[in-house]
Structure 1
């Protein structure tokens, strides 16, 4: 490297660029400016020893012909290296082909096995990709996200004692800071539960996508926009699980919601300050046993919540004849006693696939009894559990004339639901995209909430199918209690989806449900009207008493006070805007004219 190139590589600043006279004997081709840089840099920046300086000054760069000769030599060497590399590659391919032609039988077998392994792997990857596209499988990223969200949900809802909660908030500093930390933790838990209850399964709808494959890009875009609009409408009208069953979803053991609600009422009456689930399993209420729901039944009845992959075993598709088939194997559905539930969905009764039977803390599976107990005693226990569902003791125990006083909408609905706890009752759930899932109900173990883990649905109820043909539908569901409008939309969607509904019988419970909804709406309006009339009467006769009751019922928290101030300010702004608009209308002045004048 020349001295000039060394200086340029080091990126030294130009200290001076004067037009000085170059020293005698400087190399040709260098300008005065370049020589000034060399001179200035060597004298002002570099402090070489004398011998080094003499050596650096003695270096003379090659001439232009020398540069060209060096470049040609370098190019010849590069071409020689490329030629040798091509020759080596050609010889390697030639020897590999000769080895394959003249190789031994063992090498041929090894090559065949390698080729077979590649074919198997390629086929499996295609099969896995097709299953993921049809919603029957999860990719690695989705699996990890699902596992992380489930772990977060379980950690947030893990029962904690009051001491553990106080210890976790010790780092917040002052008592006010600890109070804010506890409030944030409660809001985080509430928001996570709300997200779980308001969740929608966004797996792809293969049927709608496949139908658009032969359409033009414009038609596909229009169909996609129409599906998106329909999904948005259905999601806005979707039904969440009843608030009384949120305990079942939040419980890490998913014990039956009605049983938990019985102990929850006892927890509200007790003076304890412990979390409900901690109170129930580890705290002051662990030894409490209620007559209406013994501990044995509380721990025995646990609802199975399906994962996203387990859910696909119950997914239903419609064939070209309008009949319902299992998406997992394409077989037609038959809701008879010849089938049973298992860990892989509904299977024939003689199928060896085991049933889902989790283990409880005591080491015995759910629903199990002592080994000395007979099958008949086990069945009698299950029958008693089913009979306890949707009980109406006030109505049942009353006389013939006193039954009227215990008659209500909830009593009638529970009487209808009592029929759904019989053995071999088949249920269905349609998610917010109207994907249909069908299974066998096992009261207290497999319910409507099992399919979507308690998330919201479009429709739910009872179903009967014979050889794939839909026979009967009923809108009854104790967990969701969807309105009649959702059921009508579901039936309409079945017809639009090509389902043969010519032999469908709608259950009488649908007419009862419509009547109950009309009765409840009329009753609610009547109560609201009577309340307004009574309130107006009290304001006239006893204004001071009414003001005192309103003040007592008023929320005096800081957040409520801030909300009231914001609402009052917004109301004042709306009234001011309304006054301005009215004044402009009276003066016959438009807003555009005011803007132009401004």
Structure 2
């Protein structure tokens, strides 16, 4: 038996390990280390490699097993990437579907949907008015003190394209003075006013400046919470840090949810966050590394009152935001 065991034993003395040479690539990102010290002037110093020769990797496993392991790892990673891509596609599809339904509802209720020759009943007119009013009145049932869109921006909310309300109002004034029997949006896009081109707002600007109205999924990226007295984006976990030289705006919804983003005139404004819905407070702010430094109770879309601003201050105090050094601009 002992003799049989000796024959079956593998003698590793005469086995030499397989030498594999891997061509390594150096990344400066991996060669930089952060050296922290009590001194505020501490700087990051790159660590350079002491030896740039090829790295030799030794393994007792045969090459075939190493190849099989590498293939398996690649398949697992590829499978993860595929699942991640499918999940992202599902989110995008849901968002586009929500927007499509919303667009159809507004298009159907918009006056530009109807031809002037087609008779319209009183019931149909009231139904359209109810749908359009629901857009700007969204959220009022949850807060009696909530502020709706300013009247001149109602046109923006009920326009299926959400063209900038200020621009639409300029054309609305022309339509009103013309005493046309055609509904405004029909007159503007199809009817007698389709050739009207104002110097203060050319048609190119009217069609180009469309306000972004966020859907539920898009809105989540702008939601901000308060952690340890600092403003933090809920989804990403990053601190709110406004960019110098640009305007950053906020709205507080009727459910006391805070949204913050960078203003882009004619494209992204206060009405963007809640898609034209009612708000509890709105304005501008400055914050660095999550620390609130200044606030303005101003919004051309909502015209918030002093009471709305007090609601926002109360919200900050309830969330333990230090307001001692916050500059209030009026």
Is the TM-score greater than 0.5?
yes
State the match for 1:291 in structure 2: 199
Change (3 A) 1:163 1:336: closer
Q: Write the distance in 1 (CA, Å) between the matches of 2:118 and 2:103.
A: 21
Q: Select which of 467, 470, 477 maps to 2:299.
A: 477
Change (3 A) 1:306 1:142: closer
Q: Select which of 153, 168, 175 maps to 2:106.
A: 153
Change (3 A) 1:469 1:258: same
Q: Could you tell me how far 1:139 is from its partner in structure 2?
A: 11
- TM-score (normalizing by structure 2): 0.69
What pairs with 1:361-400 in structure 2 (closer than 5 Å)? Answer: none
Q: Write the distance in 1 (CA, Å) between the matches of 2:204 and 2:100.
A: 31
- TM-score (normalizing by structure 1): 0.39
User: RCO higher in 1 or 2 (8 Å CA, sep ≥ 6)?
Assistant: 2
State the match for 1:183 in structure 2: 122
Q: Could you tell me how far 1:141 is from its partner in structure 2?
A: 8.7
Q: Write the distance in 2 (CA, Å) between the matches of 1:434 and 1:490.
A: 9
Q: Select which of 231, 256, 270 maps to 1:434.
A: 256
What pairs with 1:339-350 in structure 2 (closer than 5 Å)? Answer: none
State the match for 2:135 in structure 1: 196
Q: Write the distance in 2 (CA, Å) between the matches of 1:144 and 1:474.
A: 36
Q: Write the distance in 2 (CA, Å) between the matches of 1:502 and 1:238.
A: 27
Q: Does 1:246 align with 2:159?
A: no
Q: Which ranges in structure 1 are unaligned for 5 or more consecutive residues?
A: 1-104, 129-136, 167-180, 201-230, 338-422, 510-598
Check the 8 A contact 1:158/1:252 in 2, yes or no: no
What pairs with 1:441-460 in structure 2 (closer than 5 Å)? Answer: 441-460=263-282
Which one has the largest radius of gyration? Answer: 1
SS where residue 280 of structure 1 aligns?
Answer: helix
Q: Write the distance in 2 (CA, Å) between the matches of 1:163 and 1:289.
A: 22
Q: Which ranges in structure 2 are unaligned for 5 or more consecutive residues?
A: 1-64
Higher alpha-carbon deviation: 424-433 or 154-163? 154-163
Check the 8 A contact 1:434/1:458 in 2, yes or no: yes
State the match for 2:238 in structure 1: 331
Check the 8 A contact 2:147/2:302 in 1, yes or no: yes
Q: Could you tell me how far 1:260 is from its partner in structure 2?
A: 1.0
Q: Write the distance in 1 (CA, Å) between the matches of 2:224 and 2:164.
A: 26
State the match for 1:165 in structure 2: 118
* 1:240-265, Cα deviation, whole Å (9 max, x unpaired): 10121110111122111111111111
Size of the aligned set, in residue pairs, is 263
State the match for 1:268 in structure 2: 176
Q: Select which of 483, 487, 503 maps to 2:309.
A: 487
Higher fraction of helix: 1
Q: Could you tell me how far 1:152 is from its partner in structure 2?
A: 1.8
Q: Write the distance in 2 (CA, Å) between the matches of 1:438 and 1:430.
A: 9
State the match for 1:227 in structure 2: none
Q: Does 1:468 align with 2:290?
A: yes
Q: CA RMSD in A?
A: 3.5
